[in-house]
Amino acid sequence: MARPANDGGAADRPSVRILDDVGELAAVAADAFRETIASAPQPRIAVCLSGGSTPLHLYERLLAAGARAWLPWDRVHWFWGDERMVPMTDGRSNAGTAWRTLLAEGPAPAGNVHPIPVSGLEPDEAAARYAAELQAFYGASTLDSTRPLFDLMLLGLGSDGHTASLFPGSAALAERERWVVGVAHAGLAPFVSRVTLTLPALASARETLFLVSGADKREALAGVLAGADRPASRVRSCGRLRWLVDRAAAGADAI
């Protein structure tokens, strides 16, 4: 199977692993999650979560595998790669969903949870505030590839090839300076405006994991893995970049 080029950092060729189903995918992702946390070089650990439904399987698996006990909740800080402009109580909220399914269970200390602010803000205002929060956490406003912002970056793939809220044809894909931008129109449901990290911010990670499940991703995934220009193909990493995909997404003829 062809693989997407990755010229950012150490991971020249991202690995692709095909798992039988979403349960196995979640189990492998949970192991990778645990290893990344255990090998974090600094006491403070930054994890950037993705939206969508696939990570929920990972969260359930982490809890089933005893994360309440082994995860160093006081050291881990939680961020998001994108957010929908809805309150956290809304079922479409990425931060709300992660809070209810994983973070409240830990529990994660409130000061370690960094949702993208949405309340009463326009997407561009929310983006500027989140960039300021990320920069305060990082301690600089310029990213240094030898000192990644995130220890772990989780990402998903949309059926149109989008990742985070970087949709095909979006101007946000060309952003090179800002870390976070507003997205007035989502390219796919739910059709609410969004806030998304840009490619430079997504690339500032020590370990990047794409989690891809379901037959509706087959065409997009095949395109990405064949090197076609999709938003997800443009993601780089300061370190390792791995694709964990289930057989439904990979297709029956995948190796």
Q: Which is nearer to ligand 6PG, 52 or 239 (CB)?
A: 52
- Rounded to a whole number of angstroms, the minimum distance from the CB of residue 186 to ligand 6PG is 8
- Rounded to a whole number of angstroms, the minimum distance from the CB of residue 165 to ligand 6PG is 6
What values do phi and psi take at 85, rounded to 5?
Answer: -80, 70
Site size toward ligand 6PG (CB under 6 A) is 14
Q: Which of 8, 18, 29, 54 binds ligand 6PG (CB under 6 A)?
A: 54
Q: Which of 162, 206, 236, 240 binds ligand 6PG (CB under 6 A)?
A: 162
- 51 forms part of the interface with ligand 6PG (CB under 6 A): yes
Q: Which is nearer to ligand 6PG, 40 or 164 (CB)?
A: 164
- 82 forms part of the interface with ligand 6PG (CB under 6 A): yes
- 94 forms part of the interface with ligand 6PG (CB under 6 A): yes
Q: Which of 6, 93, 112, 163 binds ligand 6PG (CB under 6 A)?
A: 163
Residues interacting with ligand 6PG, by CB under 6 A?
50-54, 82, 94, 156-158, 162-165
